[in-house]
Protein backbone atom coordinates (compact mmCIF):
# COMPACT_ATOMS: atom_id res chain seq x y z
CA UNK A 1 0.00 0.00 0.00
CA UNK A 2 1.31 3.44 -0.89
CA UNK A 3 1.49 5.92 1.94
CA UNK A 4 0.79 9.60 1.75
CA UNK A 5 3.64 11.87 0.73
CA UNK A 6 3.11 14.50 3.42
CA UNK A 7 4.71 14.02 6.77
CA UNK A 8 2.57 12.81 9.63
CA UNK A 9 3.66 13.88 13.09
CA UNK A 10 2.91 11.37 15.86
CA UNK A 11 3.85 12.27 19.45
CA UNK A 12 2.72 10.59 22.65
CA UNK A 13 2.36 13.09 25.47
CA UNK A 14 1.18 13.26 29.05
CA UNK A 15 -0.46 16.16 30.85
CA UNK A 16 -0.57 17.13 34.50
CA UNK A 17 -4.36 17.36 34.28
CA UNK A 18 -6.98 16.23 31.80
CA UNK A 19 -6.91 18.82 29.02
CA UNK A 20 -9.81 20.46 27.25
CA UNK A 21 -9.12 18.86 23.88
CA UNK A 22 -11.43 21.18 21.95
CA UNK A 23 -9.61 24.19 23.39
CA UNK A 24 -6.16 22.72 22.69
CA UNK A 25 -7.01 21.92 19.08
CA UNK A 26 -8.89 25.16 18.43
CA UNK A 27 -7.67 26.66 15.19
CA UNK A 28 -5.61 23.62 14.21
CA UNK A 29 -6.51 21.78 11.02
CA UNK A 30 -5.37 18.27 10.21
CA UNK A 31 -4.57 17.58 13.86
CA UNK A 32 -6.07 15.43 16.58
CA UNK A 33 -5.45 14.15 20.09
CA UNK A 34 -6.37 10.53 20.69
CA UNK A 35 -6.21 8.08 23.59
CA UNK A 36 -2.92 6.12 23.40
CA UNK A 37 -4.73 2.77 23.54
CA UNK A 38 -6.16 3.51 20.08
CA UNK A 39 -2.73 3.93 18.47
CA UNK A 40 -0.91 0.73 17.58
CA UNK A 41 2.03 2.18 15.62
CA UNK A 42 3.10 5.14 13.55
CA UNK A 43 2.26 3.11 10.45
CA UNK A 44 -1.26 2.51 11.83
CA UNK A 45 -1.69 6.28 12.20
CA UNK A 46 -0.39 6.98 8.68
CA UNK A 47 -2.79 4.46 7.15
CA UNK A 48 -5.71 6.00 9.07
CA UNK A 49 -4.71 9.48 7.88
CA UNK A 50 -4.42 8.18 4.31
CA UNK A 51 -7.88 6.59 4.56
CA UNK A 52 -9.32 9.79 5.98
CA UNK A 53 -7.98 11.89 3.12
CA UNK A 54 -9.09 9.31 0.56
CA UNK A 55 -12.62 9.25 2.03
CA UNK A 56 -12.87 13.02 1.57
CA UNK A 57 -11.49 12.81 -1.98
CA UNK A 58 -14.03 10.19 -3.05
CA UNK A 59 -16.97 11.38 -0.92
CA UNK A 60 -17.20 8.29 1.31
CA UNK A 61 -16.53 10.21 4.52
CA UNK A 62 -18.91 9.78 7.46
CA UNK A 63 -17.92 12.91 9.39
CA UNK A 64 -18.01 16.46 8.11
CA UNK A 65 -14.52 17.24 9.41
CA UNK A 66 -11.37 15.26 8.56
CA UNK A 67 -10.28 15.42 12.20
CA UNK A 68 -13.41 13.52 13.29
CA UNK A 69 -13.18 11.14 10.34
CA UNK A 70 -9.66 10.31 11.52
CA UNK A 71 -11.03 9.40 14.96
CA UNK A 72 -13.57 7.08 13.35
CA UNK A 73 -10.80 5.31 11.48
CA UNK A 74 -8.21 5.12 14.28
CA UNK A 75 -10.78 3.73 16.73
CA UNK A 76 -12.48 1.44 14.21
CA UNK A 77 -15.87 2.77 15.37
CA UNK A 78 -18.47 3.57 12.71
CA UNK A 79 -20.55 5.85 14.92
CA UNK A 80 -19.12 9.30 15.58
CA UNK A 81 -20.34 9.31 19.20
CA UNK A 82 -18.68 5.93 19.84
CA UNK A 83 -15.44 7.07 18.18
CA UNK A 84 -15.34 10.25 20.27
CA UNK A 85 -15.83 8.21 23.44
CA UNK A 86 -13.22 5.60 22.46
CA UNK A 87 -10.65 8.26 21.60
CA UNK A 88 -11.32 10.53 24.58
CA UNK A 89 -8.18 11.82 26.21
CA UNK A 90 -7.42 11.74 29.92
CA UNK A 91 -3.91 12.55 31.17
CA UNK A 92 -2.15 10.90 28.22
CA UNK A 93 -2.69 11.30 24.50
CA UNK A 94 -1.15 10.85 21.12
CA UNK A 95 -0.95 14.06 19.13
CA UNK A 96 -1.32 13.43 15.41
CA UNK A 97 -0.93 16.07 12.73
CA UNK A 98 -1.02 15.60 8.98
CA UNK A 99 -0.83 19.30 8.26
CA UNK A 100 2.17 20.82 6.49
CA UNK A 101 2.66 22.93 9.63
CA UNK A 102 2.68 19.89 11.92
CA UNK A 103 5.82 20.91 13.82
CA UNK A 104 4.46 24.43 14.38
CA UNK A 105 1.16 22.96 15.56
CA UNK A 106 2.96 20.72 18.02
CA UNK A 107 5.05 23.66 19.29
CA UNK A 108 1.83 25.64 19.76
CA UNK A 109 0.30 22.75 21.71
CA UNK A 110 3.37 22.61 23.98
CA UNK A 111 3.13 26.36 24.63
CA UNK A 112 -0.60 26.13 25.39
CA UNK A 113 -0.50 23.30 27.87
CA UNK A 114 2.41 21.85 29.84
CA UNK A 115 3.15 18.35 28.63
CA UNK A 116 5.80 15.67 28.70
CA UNK A 117 6.79 13.63 25.68
CA UNK A 118 6.54 9.86 26.02
CA UNK A 119 7.38 6.87 23.85
CA UNK A 120 4.64 5.21 21.86
CA UNK A 121 3.67 1.95 23.49
CA UNK A 122 5.39 -1.03 21.89
CA UNK A 123 2.92 -3.39 20.26
CA UNK A 124 3.42 -6.80 18.75
CA UNK A 125 3.46 -7.14 14.97
CA UNK A 126 0.23 -9.12 15.25
CA UNK A 127 -1.50 -6.36 17.25
CA UNK A 128 -0.40 -3.75 14.71
CA UNK A 129 -1.56 -5.91 11.82
CA UNK A 130 -4.97 -6.46 13.42
CA UNK A 131 -5.41 -2.74 14.12
CA UNK A 132 -4.51 -1.83 10.54
CA UNK A 133 -6.84 -4.50 9.18
CA UNK A 134 -9.66 -3.25 11.43
CA UNK A 135 -9.13 0.28 10.13
CA UNK A 136 -8.71 -0.81 6.50
CA UNK A 137 -11.77 -3.08 6.44
CA UNK A 138 -13.83 -0.54 8.30
CA UNK A 139 -16.67 -0.36 5.73
CA UNK A 140 -16.71 -4.04 4.82
CA UNK A 141 -18.17 -5.25 8.12
| CATH (residue range 9-136) | 3.30.2380.10
CB 38 within 8 A of CB 86: yes
Give Cβ neighbours of residue 135 (< 8 Å, ≥ 6 apart).
44, 47, 48, 51, 73, 74, 76
For the chain, the domains span 9-136
State the pTM of this model. Answer: 0.89
Contact 109, 20 (CB under 8 A): no
Length of the chain: 141
pLDDT in tens, the chain (141 residues): 444 456 899 999 999 888 888 888 988 899 999 999 999 999 999 999 999 999 999 999 999 999 999 999 999 998 999 999 999 999 999 999 999 999 999 998 888 888 999 999 889 999 999 998 888 776 654
Amino acid sequence: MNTITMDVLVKRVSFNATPDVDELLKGLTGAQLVRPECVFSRNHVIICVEQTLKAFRNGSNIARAPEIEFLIRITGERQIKAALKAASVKKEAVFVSWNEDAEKQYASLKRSFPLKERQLEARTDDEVKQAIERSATFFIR
